Structure 1
Amino acid sequence: MSTRTGDKAGGTQSPHDRPLVHTRKDPELGEFALTFVDPAADAPLLHRWVTHPKSAFYLLQDAELPDVEREFTDIAASEHHDAFLGLHEGEPRFLMERYDPAHVELKGLYEARPGDVGMHFLCAPTDTPVHGFTLAVITTVMDMLFADPATERVVVEPDVRNTAVHALNEAVGFRVERTLAKPEKNAYLSMCTRDQFKAACEARGGKTSR
């Protein structure tokens, strides 16, 4: 995958002991960072996250623990797909997937361009939400993707019913291109260029860099 940064995790390590692949200092909420998912070590945590009722749009609601470990083991082995554990102030708080949309998720469903990168993200469910946290997470995710000079455009395909993520996507510069009928959902094919991301962050007084 042309947008790969760093090497995928090997062995079983605590998130605190793994090398970071990207960091960003948020002016309001402090340090955010990403490290590769370790499928064996992280499966119990990720299973709790993805099967929570608030994570319905991640489409793993009925997964058992072995299913989650298998899912992320397959991602770790893929040439076109990566998974990252997101940290806030050093503690696991979100999940990010990065993929090549010409090969994964959107293969054959749109006209892929060189420099296109796809992504998914999920914030850990919580009963004590922090104002602005999800926006800080998606900003960190986009900042990481555009830190790679090969990335020209980020492509996403959220469920048309997921109004919360549509608002977040718009806040960081995404524009809906059209509706896609996928086997698992109807989705809004949405794009964000580097310039659109920069303009969106500047419009709300945010920063795109670390």
Structure 2
Amino acid sequence: MRPTLFTRTDPALGEFALRPVDPPADAALLHRWVTDPKAVFWLMQDCDLAAVEKEFARIAADPFHDAFLGLHHGTPAFLMERYDPAHRELVGVHAAEPGDVGMHFLAAPTDTPVHGFTLAVLTTVMEMLFADPGTRRVVVEPDARNTAVHALNKAVGFEVLRTVSLPSKDACLSTCTRDQFLATRGENR
């Protein structure tokens, strides 16, 4: 088991934490999540267990990309990827600036949703990213059809810049600065 790198307590939902993904140990869990119909926008619906493990091993070896398993009260509950948009995902589409950090997140599929849980997950992800003083802006590129994530992104301060065509999707290129995020939390800096 890998060590926890970040912990946050949500006033309503309790403790959230993140640790690096351990591809061999976490592959079966991640396979269930990314192949679930609710995770269609992760584009891994047809992947077998070996393909999922290989993908997360590739990410673990990539100096510009990281994957983290999110825990809620110690139980796996979400996935987050962090990447450098100057080297991955948005090369040639977005003029990355110093301090830009790319991000993807996935709340574990569930049949018993908890009100506010996914927003708490995204808030945890954003707090982890902005805990690094070098992070000036978070960049995301969700599928243009993913209206649920667009609403969540807006709730934490993301602003849609434009729709961009990527190899696997049309995406809403969006950014959120530290100040935009803090403004949604009622904080000023």
- TM-score range (shorter-chain normalised) is over 0.9
State TM-score, norm by structure 2: 0.98
- The 4+ residue runs of structure 1 with deviation greater than 6 A are none
Alignment of 1:142-153 (within 5 A): 142-153=126-137
Q: How many Å separate the matches in 2 of 1:164 and 1:127?
A: 17
2:132 maps to 1:129: no
Q: How many Å separate the matches in 1 of 2:113 and 2:27?
A: 23
2:52 maps to 1:52: no
Unaligned runs of 5+ in 1: 1-12
Alignment of 1:37-48 (within 5 A): 37-48=21-32
CA RMSD of aligned residues (A): 1.1
Q: How many Å separate the matches in 2 of 1:92 and 1:24?
A: 15
Q: How many Å separate the matches in 2 of 1:119 and 1:185?
A: 16
1:11-53 residue CA offsets vs partner (Å, 9 max, x unmatched): xx3xxxx311100000000000000000000000000000000
Higher relative contact order (CA 8 A, sep 6+): 1
Identity %: 70
State TM-score, norm by structure 1: 0.88
Which of 170, 185, 189 lines up with 1:201 in the alignment?
185
SS in 2 for 1:141: helix
SS in 2 for 1:66: helix
Unaligned runs of 5+ in 2: none
Q: How many Å separate the matches in 1 of 2:94 and 2:60?
A: 25
1:161 matched residue in structure 2: 145
2:13 matched residue in structure 1: 29
Q: How many Å separate the matches in 2 of 1:165 and 1:55?
A: 12
Alignment of 1:1-16 (within 5 A): 13=1
Alignment of 1:51-70 (within 5 A): 51-70=35-54
